[in-house]
Structure 1
């Protein structure tokens, strides 16, 4: 059985060493890169299961690395940042990160986030998740088995979290989900993040499926509560 491959991208050798030690203790296969260019080269050559990416890199910024990877891959990305403002964290999610950790952080918290992302990806790949759902005369289709979304017959690239969020909403049309409920369904009960991260992921999904937030076709905002998928399936 192939070991899970994780890439650490950070220009601080001491931090990489600590993270690597904890990951290898859990029998993960760990690779390291100290620059954005090195990270992109390893991403190109390796079949990675997860990337731990610092945003402050000496050459190419972590933001650019994340955006470049997202053009061709849905590999989970755990963002590391020294910037603790909510706007900075929201921006990281907007450009394609799946989760974030603010420095300094405990190795235990890091491992919890890593295991959560890997577990979610494994469940997405290995579970029989049901038949394709289609909406608006098949203009939008969601195939849980193939992990595929199409809009007007054209494939739409969603991150793992975006896909799961869209899938949950679409499975229960007209049901209103609170932000905290969606956070727990997607990240798990042990996740201590901002409810606003859901708003960011919804915004990204809407942009990708052409859903105008002012007059949405698919995802409606229920002010003060959360969101609902407002279109019944074609069946």
Structure 2
């Protein structure tokens, strides 16, 4: 476990695997629980390390080994991404999952040696009235102290068993405080368009969906790829918002090998 201090004073706990030096994958998880509750990125990091590359899976600010109390605003999460990337030392590919894709897009210009962006099922253009209106409603619940209502509003349209799983966490419902960066970032990216953040990147951008996914995800990936200077839309083995770790490790290894060349 590596512990990294951010420019804004937060301490981030990071699971790091693989050899030092060379390019690394930095996983940016979306809204949810702490790192330990979602084994997929950690398993992918382990498999990527077996392929000779470094991988880092941080706890998001306000979760798990990156404990912090109260609302977590967007700038604190972007500072954490930049600090962990800097601590890794070499070229870094940001691997966003779900709403973590929006954070990766906003954080990409803070990574001097960006090896690429891998964006798994970014939930853009998924809300009937648009992400800015959706997020404004969620934020009203948070600001009013109705944290459970905020979670229900945040997860509108998602399977109800996902909310049931969240209720088992001792951090429920305060865990929604660590979702503020996600909602803010999604609203910003959708309002300004992904191209505002991707068109100027020299690094490759991979917008990826699983073989089984929710309606609209493949179309969103195609639009994201089209907005990037070097974008592609791809499908990998995976189902219902989770990738298959071996397949993702193989794809990341190919991307990072390109950074070495």
TM-score in same-fold range (> 0.5): no
Normalised by the size of structure 2, how large is the TM-score?
0.35
- The structure that is helix-richer by fraction is 2
| Structure index of larger Rg | 1
- With CA pairs under 8 Å and 6+ residues apart, which has the higher RCO, 1 or 2? 2
Q: TM-score, normalised by structure 1?
A: 0.38
